[in-house]
Amino acid sequence: MLKLLLYTFPAIVNYILGGMNFICAYRFSEARAPGWMVGASLSMWAGIYLAVSLLLVRFVTARNAGRLICTGGVVLALSSLGFIVFDGLLTQFVWIAASGVGSAIYCTPFQVFSRSLGAGAEGGIRAATANYTVSWSLGYAAGPFLFGVLSPVTAYFCNFALSVVLAVGILAIDRRCRPPEETRGEPACCTTSGKGRQERELLPLTGDGMLVWLGWSVGFAGVVANMIVRSLVPFRGTLLEIPRDRLGFVMALIPAVQALCAGCLRFFPTLPYRRPPMLAASLCGILSMGLFGCGGSFEVFLAASLLFGIYAGFFYFLYVFHSMAHPTRSTVSLGVNEALVGFAGVFGPIAGGLLTSPAASGRAFVVFLVPIAVAAAWGSFLIGRHFSRLK
Protein backbone atom coordinates (compact mmCIF):
# COMPACT_ATOMS: atom_id res chain seq x y z
CA MET A 1 0.00 0.00 0.00
CA LEU A 2 2.83 2.40 0.85
CA LYS A 3 4.52 1.82 -2.52
CA LEU A 4 1.24 2.39 -4.34
CA LEU A 5 0.67 5.63 -2.45
CA LEU A 6 4.26 6.72 -2.97
CA TYR A 7 4.03 6.46 -6.73
CA THR A 8 0.98 8.72 -6.90
CA PHE A 9 3.26 11.68 -6.16
CA PRO A 10 5.21 11.69 -9.45
CA ALA A 11 1.82 11.61 -11.19
CA ILE A 12 0.72 14.68 -9.22
CA VAL A 13 3.85 16.71 -9.97
CA ASN A 14 3.87 15.88 -13.65
CA TYR A 15 0.16 16.59 -13.98
CA ILE A 16 0.97 20.06 -12.64
CA LEU A 17 3.94 20.55 -14.97
CA GLY A 18 2.30 18.99 -18.03
CA GLY A 19 -0.72 21.25 -17.78
CA MET A 20 1.36 24.34 -17.10
CA ASN A 21 3.75 23.73 -20.01
CA PHE A 22 0.87 23.10 -22.41
CA ILE A 23 -1.28 26.09 -21.50
CA CYS A 24 1.64 28.53 -21.38
CA ALA A 25 2.85 27.47 -24.83
CA TYR A 26 -0.72 27.58 -26.12
CA ARG A 27 -1.39 31.07 -24.75
CA PHE A 28 1.78 32.45 -26.34
CA SER A 29 0.91 30.72 -29.61
CA GLU A 30 -2.67 32.01 -29.53
CA ALA A 31 -1.31 35.55 -28.99
CA ARG A 32 0.84 35.07 -32.13
CA ALA A 33 4.08 35.44 -30.16
CA PRO A 34 7.25 34.56 -32.12
CA GLY A 35 8.53 30.99 -32.02
CA TRP A 36 11.48 31.84 -29.78
CA MET A 37 9.14 33.21 -27.12
CA VAL A 38 6.99 30.09 -27.23
CA GLY A 39 10.15 28.03 -26.76
CA ALA A 40 11.36 30.31 -24.00
CA SER A 41 8.30 29.45 -21.91
CA LEU A 42 9.70 25.94 -21.48
CA SER A 43 13.34 27.02 -21.43
CA MET A 44 12.66 29.31 -18.46
CA TRP A 45 11.36 26.33 -16.49
CA ALA A 46 14.24 24.11 -17.60
CA GLY A 47 16.97 26.63 -16.84
CA ILE A 48 15.81 27.04 -13.25
CA TYR A 49 15.32 23.29 -12.97
CA LEU A 50 18.90 22.72 -14.17
CA ALA A 51 20.45 25.17 -11.70
CA VAL A 52 18.55 23.87 -8.68
CA SER A 53 19.16 20.22 -9.61
CA LEU A 54 22.91 20.84 -9.76
CA LEU A 55 22.83 22.49 -6.34
CA LEU A 56 20.90 19.61 -4.80
CA VAL A 57 23.15 16.77 -5.99
CA ARG A 58 25.62 17.23 -3.13
CA PHE A 59 23.02 17.63 -0.40
CA VAL A 60 20.30 15.04 -1.03
CA THR A 61 20.28 12.07 1.34
CA ALA A 62 17.69 9.48 2.30
CA ARG A 63 17.36 11.33 5.60
CA ASN A 64 16.46 14.79 4.22
CA ALA A 65 14.77 13.79 0.95
CA GLY A 66 11.22 13.79 2.36
CA ARG A 67 11.51 17.31 3.75
CA LEU A 68 12.93 18.55 0.46
CA ILE A 69 10.00 17.04 -1.47
CA CYS A 70 7.57 18.72 0.93
CA THR A 71 9.29 22.07 0.31
CA GLY A 72 9.00 21.53 -3.43
CA GLY A 73 5.25 20.93 -3.07
CA VAL A 74 4.81 24.21 -1.19
CA VAL A 75 6.68 26.12 -3.92
CA LEU A 76 4.53 24.50 -6.63
CA ALA A 77 1.38 25.49 -4.73
CA LEU A 78 2.52 29.12 -4.52
CA SER A 79 3.38 29.19 -8.23
CA SER A 80 -0.11 27.87 -9.08
CA LEU A 81 -1.67 30.69 -7.06
CA GLY A 82 0.56 33.14 -8.92
CA PHE A 83 -0.81 31.97 -12.27
CA ILE A 84 -4.36 32.57 -10.98
CA VAL A 85 -3.87 35.99 -9.36
CA PHE A 86 -1.40 37.51 -11.84
CA ASP A 87 -2.47 36.07 -15.17
CA GLY A 88 -0.79 38.42 -17.65
CA LEU A 89 0.85 36.92 -20.71
CA LEU A 90 4.43 37.92 -19.83
CA THR A 91 4.06 37.46 -16.05
CA GLN A 92 3.72 33.76 -16.82
CA PHE A 93 7.52 33.67 -16.94
CA VAL A 94 7.73 34.49 -13.21
CA TRP A 95 5.52 31.57 -12.21
CA ILE A 96 7.15 29.25 -14.72
CA ALA A 97 10.47 30.01 -12.99
CA ALA A 98 8.90 29.33 -9.58
CA SER A 99 7.56 25.99 -10.79
CA GLY A 100 11.07 25.16 -12.00
CA VAL A 101 12.36 25.63 -8.46
CA GLY A 102 9.59 23.54 -6.94
CA SER A 103 9.86 20.67 -9.41
CA ALA A 104 13.66 20.48 -9.09
CA ILE A 105 13.43 20.36 -5.30
CA TYR A 106 11.02 17.46 -5.73
CA CYS A 107 12.54 15.30 -8.47
CA THR A 108 15.97 13.97 -7.44
CA PRO A 109 14.98 13.81 -3.74
CA PHE A 110 11.92 11.76 -4.67
CA GLN A 111 13.99 9.13 -6.48
CA VAL A 112 16.32 8.90 -3.47
CA PHE A 113 13.34 8.86 -1.07
CA SER A 114 11.48 6.07 -2.89
CA ARG A 115 14.65 3.99 -3.18
CA SER A 116 15.40 4.39 0.53
CA LEU A 117 11.94 3.00 1.38
CA GLY A 118 12.55 -0.03 -0.77
CA ALA A 119 10.10 0.95 -3.52
CA GLY A 120 10.38 -1.58 -6.30
CA ALA A 121 12.51 -3.98 -4.19
CA GLU A 122 10.42 -6.99 -5.16
CA GLY A 123 11.25 -6.69 -8.84
CA GLY A 124 14.61 -4.95 -8.53
CA ILE A 125 15.75 -1.89 -10.41
CA ARG A 126 13.49 -2.63 -13.38
CA ALA A 127 10.39 -2.41 -11.20
CA ALA A 128 11.50 0.81 -9.51
CA THR A 129 12.32 2.38 -12.89
CA ALA A 130 9.10 1.20 -14.52
CA ASN A 131 6.88 2.27 -11.62
CA TYR A 132 8.42 5.73 -11.54
CA THR A 133 8.22 6.18 -15.33
CA VAL A 134 4.62 4.95 -15.52
CA SER A 135 3.56 7.21 -12.67
CA TRP A 136 5.00 10.47 -13.93
CA SER A 137 4.01 9.69 -17.52
CA LEU A 138 0.35 9.21 -16.60
CA GLY A 139 0.44 12.45 -14.66
CA TYR A 140 1.95 14.26 -17.61
CA ALA A 141 -0.77 12.82 -19.85
CA ALA A 142 -3.52 14.15 -17.58
CA GLY A 143 -2.12 17.69 -17.48
CA PRO A 144 -2.51 18.72 -21.16
CA PHE A 145 -5.79 16.82 -21.45
CA LEU A 146 -7.46 18.63 -18.53
CA PHE A 147 -5.96 22.00 -19.41
CA GLY A 148 -7.36 21.42 -22.89
CA VAL A 149 -10.96 21.01 -21.66
CA LEU A 150 -11.05 23.11 -18.46
CA SER A 151 -10.65 26.85 -18.08
CA PRO A 152 -7.08 27.82 -17.06
CA VAL A 153 -8.28 29.21 -13.70
CA THR A 154 -10.09 25.98 -12.79
CA ALA A 155 -7.12 23.88 -13.88
CA TYR A 156 -4.67 25.99 -11.86
CA PHE A 157 -6.88 25.61 -8.77
CA CYS A 158 -6.55 21.86 -9.27
CA ASN A 159 -2.77 22.35 -9.46
CA PHE A 160 -2.79 24.26 -6.18
CA ALA A 161 -4.87 21.63 -4.38
CA LEU A 162 -2.73 18.74 -5.62
CA SER A 163 0.48 20.55 -4.65
CA VAL A 164 -0.84 20.78 -1.09
CA VAL A 165 -1.73 17.08 -1.17
CA LEU A 166 1.83 16.31 -2.32
CA ALA A 167 3.45 18.31 0.47
CA VAL A 168 1.23 16.94 3.25
CA GLY A 169 1.33 13.36 2.01
CA ILE A 170 5.11 13.17 1.71
CA LEU A 171 5.55 14.85 5.10
CA ALA A 172 3.32 12.21 6.71
CA ILE A 173 5.17 9.32 5.06
CA ASP A 174 8.54 10.84 5.95
CA ARG A 175 7.69 11.20 9.64
CA ARG A 176 6.54 7.60 9.77
CA CYS A 177 9.24 5.94 7.69
CA ARG A 178 12.34 8.17 7.76
CA PRO A 179 15.53 6.09 7.83
CA PRO A 180 17.28 6.10 11.22
CA GLU A 181 20.60 7.30 9.83
CA GLU A 182 22.08 8.97 6.76
CA THR A 183 22.44 6.56 3.82
CA ARG A 184 23.93 7.05 0.39
CA GLY A 185 24.56 3.39 -0.38
CA GLU A 186 23.36 1.07 -3.06
CA PRO A 187 19.71 0.91 -4.10
CA ALA A 188 17.56 -1.33 -1.93
CA CYS A 189 16.94 -3.56 -4.94
CA CYS A 190 20.62 -4.49 -5.04
CA THR A 191 20.13 -6.62 -1.93
CA THR A 192 17.03 -8.52 -2.99
CA SER A 193 16.65 -12.15 -3.95
CA GLY A 194 14.72 -13.86 -6.73
CA LYS A 195 14.41 -11.54 -9.71
CA GLY A 196 16.85 -9.11 -8.12
CA ARG A 197 19.57 -11.80 -8.23
CA GLN A 198 19.52 -11.75 -12.02
CA GLU A 199 20.04 -8.00 -11.98
CA ARG A 200 22.88 -8.21 -9.43
CA GLU A 201 24.77 -10.31 -11.94
CA LEU A 202 24.46 -7.49 -14.48
CA LEU A 203 25.17 -4.55 -12.15
CA PRO A 204 28.99 -4.88 -12.10
CA LEU A 205 28.98 -4.16 -15.82
CA THR A 206 27.85 -0.60 -15.07
CA GLY A 207 30.76 -0.01 -12.74
CA ASP A 208 33.02 1.47 -15.41
CA GLY A 209 30.34 4.01 -16.23
CA MET A 210 29.98 3.05 -19.88
CA LEU A 211 26.36 1.93 -19.62
CA VAL A 212 25.55 5.04 -17.62
CA TRP A 213 26.89 6.91 -20.63
CA LEU A 214 24.59 4.81 -22.81
CA GLY A 215 21.58 6.01 -20.84
CA TRP A 216 22.77 9.60 -20.81
CA SER A 217 23.55 9.82 -24.54
CA VAL A 218 20.40 8.11 -25.82
CA GLY A 219 18.29 9.75 -23.14
CA PHE A 220 19.64 13.26 -23.72
CA ALA A 221 18.82 13.16 -27.44
CA GLY A 222 15.35 11.94 -26.54
CA VAL A 223 14.78 14.60 -23.90
CA VAL A 224 15.84 17.35 -26.34
CA ALA A 225 13.34 15.99 -28.88
CA ASN A 226 10.68 15.77 -26.19
CA MET A 227 11.24 19.39 -25.22
CA ILE A 228 10.85 20.43 -28.86
CA VAL A 229 7.58 18.50 -29.02
CA ARG A 230 6.27 19.96 -25.74
CA SER A 231 6.97 23.54 -26.69
CA LEU A 232 6.35 23.66 -30.44
CA VAL A 233 3.50 21.22 -31.15
CA PRO A 234 1.03 23.74 -29.61
CA PHE A 235 2.61 26.48 -31.75
CA ARG A 236 2.38 24.47 -34.97
CA GLY A 237 -1.05 23.14 -34.10
CA THR A 238 -2.39 26.65 -33.48
CA LEU A 239 -1.10 27.80 -36.87
CA LEU A 240 -2.84 24.78 -38.44
CA GLU A 241 -6.02 25.81 -36.58
CA ILE A 242 -6.29 22.59 -34.59
CA PRO A 243 -8.65 23.29 -31.63
CA ARG A 244 -7.22 23.52 -28.11
CA ASP A 245 -9.02 20.41 -26.84
CA ARG A 246 -7.64 18.34 -29.74
CA LEU A 247 -4.14 19.68 -29.19
CA GLY A 248 -4.46 18.76 -25.53
CA PHE A 249 -5.38 15.22 -26.55
CA VAL A 250 -2.38 15.04 -28.91
CA MET A 251 -0.05 16.13 -26.12
CA ALA A 252 -1.68 13.75 -23.62
CA LEU A 253 -1.37 10.73 -25.91
CA ILE A 254 2.45 10.85 -25.87
CA PRO A 255 2.96 10.28 -22.12
CA ALA A 256 0.01 7.84 -22.02
CA VAL A 257 1.70 5.57 -24.59
CA GLN A 258 5.02 6.25 -22.87
CA ALA A 259 3.59 4.93 -19.60
CA LEU A 260 2.26 1.79 -21.28
CA CYS A 261 5.63 1.03 -22.88
CA ALA A 262 7.60 1.69 -19.70
CA GLY A 263 5.28 -0.61 -17.77
CA CYS A 264 5.91 -3.42 -20.26
CA LEU A 265 9.69 -2.99 -20.11
CA ARG A 266 9.88 -4.18 -16.50
CA PHE A 267 9.21 -7.73 -17.69
CA PHE A 268 12.30 -7.90 -19.93
CA PRO A 269 15.40 -8.03 -17.70
CA THR A 270 18.08 -7.82 -20.40
CA LEU A 271 16.32 -5.36 -22.71
CA PRO A 272 18.27 -2.26 -21.50
CA TYR A 273 21.45 -4.02 -22.63
CA ARG A 274 20.30 -4.97 -26.15
CA ARG A 275 20.80 -3.21 -29.47
CA PRO A 276 17.66 -4.10 -31.55
CA PRO A 277 15.07 -2.58 -29.15
CA MET A 278 17.05 0.64 -28.95
CA LEU A 279 17.28 0.92 -32.74
CA ALA A 280 13.57 0.11 -33.19
CA ALA A 281 12.54 2.71 -30.60
CA SER A 282 14.84 5.30 -32.18
CA LEU A 283 13.23 4.66 -35.57
CA CYS A 284 9.85 5.41 -34.00
CA GLY A 285 11.26 8.69 -32.70
CA ILE A 286 12.67 9.65 -36.11
CA LEU A 287 9.37 8.90 -37.86
CA SER A 288 7.36 10.81 -35.29
CA MET A 289 9.48 13.95 -35.61
CA GLY A 290 9.10 13.75 -39.39
CA LEU A 291 5.32 13.50 -39.06
CA PHE A 292 5.13 16.43 -36.63
CA GLY A 293 7.27 18.49 -38.99
CA CYS A 294 5.57 17.61 -42.27
CA GLY A 295 2.03 16.65 -41.24
CA GLY A 296 -0.81 19.12 -41.36
CA SER A 297 -3.81 17.48 -39.71
CA PHE A 298 -5.05 16.27 -36.35
CA GLU A 299 -4.95 12.64 -37.52
CA VAL A 300 -1.28 12.87 -38.57
CA PHE A 301 -0.43 14.47 -35.23
CA LEU A 302 -2.13 11.55 -33.46
CA ALA A 303 0.03 9.06 -35.39
CA ALA A 304 3.13 11.09 -34.55
CA SER A 305 2.15 11.13 -30.86
CA LEU A 306 1.71 7.36 -30.82
CA LEU A 307 5.17 6.78 -32.32
CA PHE A 308 6.83 9.36 -30.10
CA GLY A 309 5.23 7.79 -27.03
CA ILE A 310 6.80 4.42 -27.91
CA TYR A 311 10.18 6.10 -28.34
CA ALA A 312 9.85 8.12 -25.15
CA GLY A 313 8.83 5.09 -23.08
CA PHE A 314 12.03 3.34 -24.08
CA PHE A 315 14.52 6.17 -23.72
CA TYR A 316 13.15 7.42 -20.40
CA PHE A 317 13.31 3.88 -19.02
CA LEU A 318 16.89 3.51 -20.25
CA TYR A 319 17.77 6.95 -18.89
CA VAL A 320 16.71 6.17 -15.32
CA PHE A 321 17.59 2.48 -15.29
CA HIS A 322 21.32 2.76 -15.97
CA SER A 323 21.72 5.54 -13.41
CA MET A 324 19.86 3.61 -10.69
CA ALA A 325 21.83 0.48 -11.58
CA HIS A 326 25.23 2.06 -10.97
CA PRO A 327 26.61 0.11 -7.98
CA THR A 328 28.40 3.00 -6.24
CA ARG A 329 27.24 6.36 -7.62
CA SER A 330 23.51 6.03 -8.24
CA THR A 331 22.52 9.19 -6.32
CA VAL A 332 25.03 11.31 -8.22
CA SER A 333 23.99 9.69 -11.51
CA LEU A 334 20.33 10.46 -10.84
CA GLY A 335 21.28 14.06 -10.11
CA VAL A 336 23.15 14.24 -13.41
CA ASN A 337 20.02 12.88 -15.11
CA GLU A 338 17.95 15.77 -13.82
CA ALA A 339 20.65 18.29 -14.72
CA LEU A 340 20.69 16.97 -18.28
CA VAL A 341 16.89 17.24 -18.41
CA GLY A 342 17.27 20.88 -17.40
CA PHE A 343 19.98 21.55 -19.97
CA ALA A 344 17.94 19.86 -22.71
CA GLY A 345 14.95 21.96 -21.71
CA VAL A 346 16.96 25.15 -22.07
CA PHE A 347 18.68 24.25 -25.32
CA GLY A 348 15.90 22.42 -27.18
CA PRO A 349 13.03 24.92 -27.05
CA ILE A 350 15.25 27.96 -27.63
CA ALA A 351 17.06 26.37 -30.59
CA GLY A 352 13.77 25.02 -31.92
CA GLY A 353 12.08 28.37 -31.47
CA LEU A 354 14.84 30.17 -33.39
CA LEU A 355 14.41 27.69 -36.25
CA THR A 356 10.65 28.17 -36.25
CA SER A 357 8.51 30.79 -37.92
CA PRO A 358 4.89 30.86 -39.07
CA ALA A 359 6.10 30.10 -42.59
CA ALA A 360 8.30 27.18 -41.42
CA SER A 361 6.64 25.86 -38.29
CA GLY A 362 7.77 22.28 -38.94
CA ARG A 363 11.45 22.95 -39.55
CA ALA A 364 12.64 22.33 -35.97
CA PHE A 365 11.07 18.86 -35.86
CA VAL A 366 12.88 17.80 -39.03
CA VAL A 367 16.22 19.21 -37.86
CA PHE A 368 16.02 17.57 -34.42
CA LEU A 369 15.36 14.08 -35.70
CA VAL A 370 19.08 14.04 -36.59
CA PRO A 371 20.30 13.86 -32.94
CA ILE A 372 18.00 10.87 -32.39
CA ALA A 373 19.73 9.03 -35.25
CA VAL A 374 23.21 10.03 -34.03
CA ALA A 375 22.43 8.90 -30.46
CA ALA A 376 21.11 5.58 -31.78
CA ALA A 377 24.38 4.99 -33.65
CA TRP A 378 26.46 5.91 -30.59
CA GLY A 379 24.33 3.75 -28.32
CA SER A 380 24.66 0.86 -30.74
CA PHE A 381 28.45 1.21 -30.53
CA LEU A 382 28.41 1.21 -26.72
CA ILE A 383 26.17 -1.85 -26.53
CA GLY A 384 28.30 -3.66 -29.11
CA ARG A 385 31.41 -2.89 -27.07
CA HIS A 386 29.90 -4.57 -24.00
CA PHE A 387 27.73 -7.19 -25.67
CA SER A 388 30.10 -10.11 -25.31
CA ARG A 389 30.23 -9.48 -21.55
CA LEU A 390 26.44 -9.55 -21.32
CA LYS A 391 25.89 -12.99 -22.86
Q: Give the tens place of pLDDT for each residue, 331-371.
A: 677 777 877 888 888 888 888 888 888 888 889 999 999 99
**Closest C-alpha among 150, 155, 149 to residue 245:** 149
Average pLDDT over residues 295-316: 93
Residue 301: per-residue pLDDT: 96
Q: Helix, strand or coil for residue 10?
A: helix
Q: What mean pLDDT value characterizes the chain?
A: 82
Angstrom distance (rounded) from CA 308 to CA 285: 5
Residue 287: per-residue pLDDT: 96
Cα separations (Å) of 321 from 53, 235, 348? 19, 33, 23
Average pLDDT over residues 121-127: 62
Q: For the ranges 322-326, 340-344, 385-389, which has the lowest average pLDDT?
A: 385-389
Q: Is the pLDDT of residue 390 over 70?
A: no
Q: pLDDT tens, 69-101?
A: 999 999 999 999 999 999 888 999 999 999 999
Is the torsion defined by CA of 154, 242, 141, 357 positive or negative? Answer: negative
Yes or no: say if 96 and 24 are a contact pair by the CB < 8 Å rule: yes
Q: Which helix (H) or strand (E) holds 17?
A: helix 8-30
Cα separations (Å) of 226 from 60, 136, 222, 233, 372? 27, 15, 6, 10, 11
- What phi-psi label fits residue 120: left (phi over 0), alpha (psi between -120 and 50 degrees) or beta? left
CATH class of the 2-390 domain in this structure? mainly alpha
Higher pLDDT, 126 or 186: 126
**Which parts of 195-243 fold into alpha helices (H)?**
195-202, 210-239
Number of other CB atoms surrounding residue 87 within 10 Å? 14
Angstrom distance (rounded) from CA 377 to CA 318: 15
Higher pLDDT, 53 or 259: 259
Angstrom distance (rounded) from CA 65 to CA 283: 38
Quickly state the pLDDT bin for 32 (edges 50, 70, 90): confident
Q: pLDDT tens, 189-225?
A: 333 344 444 444 444 444 445 677 778 888 889 999 9
Q: Is the pLDDT of residue 118 over 80?
A: no
Yes or no: say if 205 and 215 are a contact pair by the CB < 8 Å rule: no
Quickly state the pLDDT bin for 372 (edges 50, 70, 90): very high
318's CB contacts (< 8 A; 6+ apart) are 214, 215, 218, 219, 272, 278
Quickly state the pLDDT bin for 311 (edges 50, 70, 90): very high
Higher pLDDT, 110 or 210: 110
Residue 9: per-residue pLDDT: 85
What pTM was estimated for this model as a whole?
0.79
Domain ranges of the chain: 2-390
Yes or no: say if 55 and 68 are a contact pair by the CB < 8 Å rule: no
Percentage of the chain surpassing pLDDT 90?
Answer: 32
For residue 48, the one-letter residue type is I
Residue 201: per-residue pLDDT: 42
Which string of DSSP letters, residue by residue, matches 296-352? -SHHHHHHHHHHHHHHHHHHHHHHHHHHHT-SS-HHHHHHHHHHHHHHHHHHHHHHH
Higher pLDDT, 174 or 224: 224
Yes or no: say if 231 and 41 are a contact pair by the CB < 8 Å rule: yes
Distance separating the N- and C-terminal Cα atoms of the chain: 37
Yes or no: say if 18 and 142 are a contact pair by the CB < 8 Å rule: yes
Residue 296: per-residue pLDDT: 85
